[in-house]
């Protein structure tokens, strides 16, 4: 398969690097892309993506899998950010929206030009992006809130993309503080994504330690 990963990173102990390593060892052709808003002009990101990724895929071949795994957008993310004396940083809010909504929207629609009904788009979000009544990480409204926007982007793209491409989000908890458990979860995620399951279209898929079972989130339905 031709696989495009945005945000693969270089660490095989983290999901992006682990997924890339496993995919390449399985014989897939992997194209990676990364960006930094601090060093790259926003308008240049899609231009570079086209030159460095889309134009490298041989003519007549498709993208089988597009995986968006970029991590960022952590503002607001501290308790002090919600106090009366805090001066809200509009630019940091914009970065959060760009990383977790606008840029995945732009790059995935560009990738769609080389995709078809057998292809998949997978966005990596988080369980906290849809579990509003949790009791942990409540201060990270920027990160989990904009990952929630990515869930909404997924749902719309699954419904309306013009290629019949399967689109879904993986929203796991990967316990990186426990290398053995994190490897188990990453293995489960990787195997599932590479299986190209069309029944996943439009779904938020959950995956938690220790067992790593993958199943769809069923909440959020209209009464």
**Sequence-distant (≥ 6) Cβ neighbours of residue 47 within 8 angstroms:** none
Count the domains in the chain: 1
In a domain? residue 108? yes
Mean pLDDT of all residues belonging to the chain: 95
The Cα–Cα gap between 173 and 171 comes to 7
In a domain? residue 222? no
In a domain? residue 144? yes
In a domain? residue 223? no
In a domain? residue 25? yes
In a domain? residue 13? yes
Residue 119 belongs to domain spanning: 2-216
Residue 220: pLDDT band with limits 50, 70, 90: low
**Sequence-distant (≥ 6) Cβ neighbours of residue 154 within 8 angstroms:** 121, 123, 167, 168, 169, 202, 204
In a domain? residue 112? yes
Question: Does residue 5 surpass a pLDDT of 60?
Answer: yes
Which of 161, 159, 157 shows the shortest CA–CA distance to 149? 157
* CATH code, domain carrying 114: 3.40.50.720
In a domain? residue 115? yes
The percent of residues above 70 in pLDDT, for the chain, comes to 98
Residue 39: HSE in the Cβ half-sphere, 13 Å Cα cutoff: 4
Residue ranges of E strands in the chain: 2-6, 29-33, 65-68, 120-124, 166-172, 204-207, 214-216
The model's pLDDT over 53-107, given as tens digits with 9 standing for 90+, comes to: 999 999 999 999 999 999 899 999 999 999 999 999 999 999 999 999 999 999 9
The Cα–Cα gap between 154 and 164 comes to 13
Pairing of strands 214-216, 204-207: antiparallel
The model's pLDDT over 104-152, given as tens digits with 9 standing for 90+, comes to: 999 999 999 999 999 999 999 998 898 888 899 999 999 999 999 999 9
Q: Are 160 and 114 in contact (CB under 8 A)?
A: no
Question: Does residue 208 surpass a pLDDT of 80?
Answer: yes
């Amino acid at each position: 398969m031709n696989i495009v990963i945005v945000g693969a990173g270089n660490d095989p102990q983290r999901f992006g690097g682990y997924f890339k390593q496993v995919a390449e060892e399985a014989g897939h052709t992997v194209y990676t892309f990364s960006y930094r808003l601090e060093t790259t002009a926003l308008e240049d990101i899609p231009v570079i993506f086209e030159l460095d990724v889309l134009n490298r895929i041989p003519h007549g071949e498709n993208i089988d899998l597009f995986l968006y795994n970029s991590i960022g957008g952590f503002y607001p993310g501290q308790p002090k950010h919600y106090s009366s004396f805090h001066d809200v940083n509009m630019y940091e809010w914009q970065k959060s929206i760009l990383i977790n909504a606008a840029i995945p929207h732009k790059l995935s629609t560009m990738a769609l030009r080389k995709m078809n009904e057998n292809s998949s788009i997978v966005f990596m979000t988080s369980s906290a992006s849809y579990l509003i009544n949790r009791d942990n990480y409540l201060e990270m409204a920027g990160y989990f809130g904009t990952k929630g926007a990515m869930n909404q982007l997924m749902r719309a793209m699954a419904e309306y993309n013009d290629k019949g491409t399967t689109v879904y989000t993986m929203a796991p908890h990967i316990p990186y503080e426990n290398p053995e458990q994190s490897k188990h979860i990453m293995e489960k995620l990787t195997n599932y994504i590479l299986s190209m399951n069309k029944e996943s279209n439009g779904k938020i898929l959950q995956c938690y330690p220790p067992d790593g079972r993958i199943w769809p989130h069923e909440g959020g339905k209209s009464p």
